[in-house]
Amino acid sequence: MTLARRDFSIGLLGAGFGAAVTSPLAGAQPKWPAEGVHYVRLEQPLPAASRGRIEVIEFFWYECPHCNAFEPSLEAWSQKLPHDIVLRRVPIWFQETPFAAQQRLFYTLDTLGLLPTLHRRVFATIHVDHARLRTPEDMAAFALKNGVDPIKFMSTYGSPEVAALAVQARQLADAYMIDAVPAMGVQGRYYTNGNLANAGLPAKGPVVGNERLLGVVDALVTRTRKPG
């Protein structure tokens, strides 16, 4: 259900490999969702960026097969959000290659207002077309293929603004102590991921697993709304 930091090596990255970690609670049936089992409460709450709204963050990596499988469920969920919830996507960094380049790719698309049309296209390029998006040359070719001026695209890709956004993403992931993706943060207070959300529950395939992850998020949003 998730791809963990410890799963990475040069060989694994080249293959786009993803491995789910087996829960030590397999076979158990803990109350769902239970704190410390299906989600974690942060010891030091973080300030939420969206004032007056509950901030839900997805931490992801474009090459992660689990993130790719999660995207349709997340997109459908996001289209039904009430007005007091805002979804924010944050690309993860576990090591310089290829994470830094793909963080810049995400924030370039965001800066140019292209996320609605090209975010899913990045996933498809990697997981369906089996193309690499790791170098400036790869990025320029992606822009050109998708009808974007590659000069403007690469100027934004190399800008200090995009570099600063990537640094902020790393700092936020560190604050949440993210070590696997896809992962979800709620209002700077809670953290969960696919393995946690499905801990102790029977395996029923990725679709059910993704729905459980979003179910934990829904429960945490409800908890966040309660005073005290």
What is the Cα–Cα distance from 228 to 223, expressed in whole angstroms? 10
The most confident of 18-32, 118-132, 214-228, by mean pLDDT: 118-132
Question: Sorting pLDDT into bands at 50, 70 and 90, what band is 136?
Answer: very high
What is the Cα–Cα distance from 34 to 150, expressed in whole angstroms? 48
pTM value is 0.86
- Full residue range of the structural domain in which residue 66 is found: 3-225
pLDDT at residue 3 in the model = 74
pLDDT at residue 17 in the model = 30
Query: Residues 192, 184: contact at Cβ < 8 Å?
Result: yes
pLDDT at residue 227 in the model = 59
CATH code for the domain in which residue 123 is found: 3.40.30.10
Q: Which whole-number Å values give the CA distances from 1 to 100, 182, 191, 227, in the listed order?
A: 23, 8, 15, 32
Does residue 164 register a pLDDT over 90?
A: yes
What is the Cα–Cα distance from 17 to 132, expressed in whole angstroms? 14
Mean pLDDT of 58-82: 96
Q: In what order do the strands lie in the sheet with 40-41?
A: 40-41, 190-193, 183-186, 54-60, 85-91
- Candidate from 110-114, 122-126, 200-204 with smallest mean pLDDT: 200-204
Question: Sorting pLDDT into bands at 50, 70 and 90, what band is 206?
Answer: confident
What is the Cα–Cα distance from 164 to 151, expressed in whole angstroms? 20
